[in-house]
Amino acid sequence: MEGDTVVSEVASTLLGVENLSVTLENGRPIVQDVSFTLAAGETFGLVGESGSGKTTTALALLGFARPGMRIVSGDVEIRGERVALHDEGAARQLRGRLVSHVPQDPATNLNPALRISESIADVYKAHRGSEGADGAVRRALERVHLPVTSDFLRRFPHQLSGGQQQRVLIACALVCEPALLVLDEPTTGLDVVTQAHILQEIEHLHRERDLAMIYVSHDLAVISQIAERVSVMYGGVLVEEGPTREVLTRPRHPYTLGLARSIPTHTVLHRRLHGIPGVAVGGVQTGCPFEPRCEQRVARCGVEAPPLERVGASVVRCFESHRTPPLGVTDQIAIGQRANGAPVLSVEDLLAVHQHQGRTVVAANSVSFTVGVGECVALVGESGSGKTTIARTIAGLHKPAGGRIVLAGEELAASARDRPRALRRRCQIIFQNPFESLNPTRRVIDEVMRPAFTLRGLSSSQGREEAGELLSRVRLPDRLAERYPAELSGGERQRVAIARALIAQPDLLVCDEITSALDVSVQAAVIELLVELREELGLSLLFITHNLGVVASIADRVLILNRGEICEEGVVDDVFVTPRNPYTIELLEAAPSLHIAAQ
């Protein structure tokens, strides 16, 4: 049995990658010694967080290295043909015909000045000449289920939705009928429902054409839905590879385990997430790249690079993989106190609009909800649902067109400036993008202590002292206090933003998509921190997000926002188990889940 599978695998090998290494021009390694094979018609997932080298690996399969990088060694063979790794002209001969690439962001990867048909035909002409381009464009559009009407062919990218743009990009990749498709985060940045449609499309292509695919993503849950085999990368090294089910249910590498434990899933409620301690370091150093963050490291991990070893059905690059504990059932978060007494925040009949080129766009329409003392309420919606506008209105940054916002029994003025200091102090907002929310010219400690002065009137020395305490409370090492934001990672910056909110001693924290710009393991650590702070300080949270998994983990109650209106609200345990509104049902069905895939 075992022998048979190996033989048939070798016989139908489509892609073979051996000892692929990519470095920066200065010699710093980005990807080191990556090897794997892919059978015809197989879907292979390549998972990793920022800086893991997954995109670089994927591009190297096309013989391409991004500016500033160089493929230094390795062998890539597709259907018996060697991909030229150093000769751009020769590599071009293979692209389109043997292998093609679907990039991440359709909004920036489609030329806005070209019509859809031109964009797709360009790819065909580049590889096959202009003859037969028309028919090929139509066939490619059909395969991704886009209308093949002349009206649609003449459209420009901005006239399409995000999902349609992504389909056009896939059509570009398919137009020369390659044997292998490399998809680089094709659904990142799309709404969950659209993402589910695109994934179905990819699944469909896979089954219909027996097309081999490499799916690159940071999202293990998405990969688990479509890939048969998965490979996990960390710090430029392939650390674990195996059948998807095996890797998810019984991770053998401590990093894979950490990743699995940090991914929130909406099918398991109130699960405590565990982040991976420390910060990912790009590039390969001596020994195992995960060594500085690993909980089961031994002395030689720091000096010797572990080889790939077969463990069960997977191969793992770890000396101590036999010690990796099973995934197990992780502990539950105690459900916060149910709202009792007067709520901290009550929003009544809120109407918020945007003026856009003379038109009025309604962002929030008769939105009413409350947040109780010590409660965590999640406001869930897709992009454009108005959730950020609601947060900004509560923070006094956007003037509402109607309705009332009552904080701690007092009605709030529309503009933050007109609110009394005590009320401004009670409600603090944390923004989505940690790369934008800290003043780049101010040191961390000064940034954190500022609200202590503005909102509480503390002296500079008192503020500095409290800021220092808060920085250690959000688990930032002391040495970061005197640094500038540019020297911090995304997760660290978001912790600084949390500390800056906490120093005001607020009753309510409004968190606007605060983890969406972070890697999953970092997201888990930030959520972990918020859960702890809630338990310690009795904070109330209004948690705004599009990620249902995060909601399931952290929230007590949930509000589902659709086109500016709340379409369903209730306790998380009810809404997630027995959703009533069709939109909620659609959202829950579309959200990828590790848990379901593992079953």
Site for another protein in 363-382 (CB under 8 A): none
Site for another protein in 386-415 (CB under 8 A): 392, 395-397
Residue nearer to another protein on the CB measure, 337 or 439:
439
Number of residues located near another protein, criterion CB under 8 A: 51
CB of 504 to another protein, least distance (A): 7
Residue nearer to another protein on the CB measure, 208 or 417:
417
Eight-state DSSP code of residue 339: P
Among 430, 444, 456, smallest CA distance to 542 is for: 430
- Which amino acid is present at 265? T
Of 126, 313, 486, 585, the one binding another protein (CB under 8 A) is 486
Site for another protein in 43-62 (CB under 8 A): 50-51, 55
403 token code pair: 């309705």
Q: What share of the chain is helix, strand, coil (3-state, %, to 5)?
A: 40, 25, 35
37 token code pair: 């094979």
Angstrom distances, CA of residue 183 to CA of 47, 62, 424:
12, 12, 46
Q: Write out the E strands in 40-115.
A: 43-47, 69-78, 81-82, 99-102
Of 13, 109, 200, 489, the one binding another protein (CB under 8 A) is 489
CB of 188 to another protein, least distance (A): 5
Of 454, 462, 505, 581, the one binding another protein (CB under 8 A) is 454
Residue nearer to another protein on the CB measure, 42 or 219:
219
- Which amino acid is present at 377? V
Residue 107 within binding range of another protein, rule CB under 8 A: no
Residue 324 within binding range of another protein, rule CB under 8 A: no
Residue nearer to another protein on the CB measure, 179 or 429:
429
- Which amino acid is present at 39? A
Residue nearer to another protein on the CB measure, 156 or 435:
435
Residue nearer to another protein on the CB measure, 34 or 412:
412
CA torsion, ordered 192, 338, 329, 195, to nearest 10 deg: 0
Which residues sit opposite 75 in a β-bridge? 18
Q: Which uninterrupted H or E stretch holds 582?
A: helix 582-590
CB of 31 to another protein, least distance (A): 16
Is the Cα torsion angle 240, 244, 248, 250 positive or negative in sign? negative
The residue assigned the tokens 């021009």 is 25
559 token code pair: 């509000």
Is the Cα torsion angle 184, 487, 532, 258 positive or negative in sign? positive
Site for another protein in 270-289 (CB under 8 A): 279-280, 282
- Which amino acid is present at 454? T
CB of 334 to another protein, least distance (A): 30
Site for another protein in 413-452 (CB under 8 A): 416-417, 419, 421, 424, 428-429, 431-433, 435-442, 447, 450-451
450 token code pair: 């500022």
Residue nearer to another protein on the CB measure, 271 or 426:
426
CA distance 427 to 422: 9
CB of 521 to another protein, least distance (A): 11
CB of 405 to another protein, least distance (A): 13
CA distance 100 to 213: 10
CA distance 250 to 247: 5
- Concatenate the DSSP letters of all residues of 106-150 into one string: HHHHS-TTS-HHHHHHHHHHHHH-STTHHHHHHHHHHHTT----H
Residue 104 within binding range of another protein, rule CB under 8 A: yes
CB of 182 to another protein, least distance (A): 15
CB of 438 to another protein, least distance (A): 6
Residue nearer to another protein on the CB measure, 445 or 558:
445
CB of 77 to another protein, least distance (A): 28
Residue nearer to another protein on the CB measure, 266 or 392:
392
CB 262 within 8 A of CB 520: yes
14 token code pair: 């489509």
Site for another protein in 152-211 (CB under 8 A): 185, 188-189
Site for another protein in 11-50 (CB under 8 A): 50
Each residue 503-532 as x (binds another protein by CB under 8 A) or -, in order, gives -x-----------xxxx-------------
Of 478, 487, 535, 589, the one binding another protein (CB under 8 A) is 487
**Pairing outcome for strands 359-371 and 309-311:** unpaired
CB of 511 to another protein, least distance (A): 13
Residue nearer to another protein on the CB measure, 63 or 396:
396
**Pairing outcome for strands 212-217 and 180-184:** parallel
CA 147 to chain centre: 30
Task: Give contact residues for another protein (rule: CB under 8 A).
Answer: 50-51, 55, 104, 185, 188-189, 218, 279-280, 282, 392, 395-397, 416-417, 419, 421, 424, 428-429, 431-433, 435-442, 447, 450-451, 454-455, 484, 486-490, 497, 500, 504, 516-519
